[in-house]
Amino acid sequence: MQPLRILLCIRTDLTSWWTLNSLLPHMSGHTLAIAQYPTTTERPNGLEEVAGLPEVDDALTALWLDDALPNEVLFPTLAELPTAPGAMAGPAHLASRHGAALRTVADLNTGPDLDWARAFAPDVLISLRFGQILRSAVIDLPPLGCFNAHSGDLPHYAGLFCPVRAVLAGERKLGCTLHRIDTGIDTGPVVARGYTPIDPTRSLAEHYARVYALAVPMICDLIATLVTRCDATGQPQDTASRQYGSQLTIEEITALHNAGMALTHPRDFSHYLLPFLPGPIGAGIPALATELVARWHAFADTLPHRARTLLQSCLHPDSLALYAAGEARARSPIG
């Protein structure tokens, strides 16, 4: 096997790093670099101004659990430990484990971030929940191409928050599309696609994780093809049915709740959080528990009252402390 230089572009959220924990073990033998882009730039606008509505507080809590929790609480605390305490590793430990260069980027298309990508000289670029539109300066870098794992069934569901739009449209399954990146937005030829059924008893957060889990075997198959220097051209999209969605509106969030599906749920969230924390009972780290709870309170104090109450129902600090200390592994979910 001829190793490749693979640039992975992701977001700084729990879903992205959960997916990378599943993907990177299959990238053994290749040289890796990871560009992570802060998720705060894609938060729906205006939510804080209407906090107090149940569906809005749910949205605020979902954003905190997937975005602010890992970046403001979980990952900084874990990074201070010599090794990852759980089955899954945060950014610093996971990158080190797989010998990957790790960089938080402001704009991969220009300036020092582009210089960093050029210096890495990737053979192929894989985008997974990356929050930036890539321009020609980046697209032209890897000789084997740039590819994106998109959380929608292209061409019909293009743009942002595709699983939400699919649920609102009455779909019975969600799609994940691996496509070549061109100079458009979600317009490049399709290399592979997969589907997962919609379960109305589970949250959208759980569905997002399952959609991106579909991308892992597709990316592995793509890399296996590119190792032989075979071209992964893909099939051109029929754009006649294309619908492009941008930021979620308050009305869409409300419609999702009226359809009986929440954005987050304690059972679903705990499934994705717990693997980052200590494993067997008695193997916990008290200092980790103390730091996590302190960071939890510091952030929760910034939330509106109703949003804070909902957050406590999903992730109570006392339960978080027990898990981090290794004393509550048998109790599930958190909250």
Contact 155, 237 (CB under 8 A): yes
| Cα dihedral across residues 333, 314, 128, 82: positive or negative | negative
Q: Both tokens of residue 158?
A: 């293009």
Alpha helices in the chain (DSSP H): 14-23, 54-63, 75-79, 91-97, 111-120, 136-139, 162-168, 204-227, 250-258, 266-273, 286-300, 305-314, 317-324
**What predicted TM-score, i.e. pTM, was given to this entire model?**
0.87
pLDDT tens string, the chain, 335 residues long: the values are: 689 999 999 998 888 999 999 999 999 999 999 999 987 544 555 555 555 566 666 676 777 777 777 887 788 888 888 888 888 899 999 999 999 999 999 999 999 999 999 999 999 999 999 989 999 999 999 999 999 999 999 999 999 889 999 999 999 999 999 999 999 899 999 999 999 999 988 888 889 889 999 999 999 999 999 998 777 888 999 888 888 888 888 788 888 888 888 887 766 767 777 788 776 544 566 777 787 788 778 777 877 676 677 667 766 777 667 666 655 543 443 33
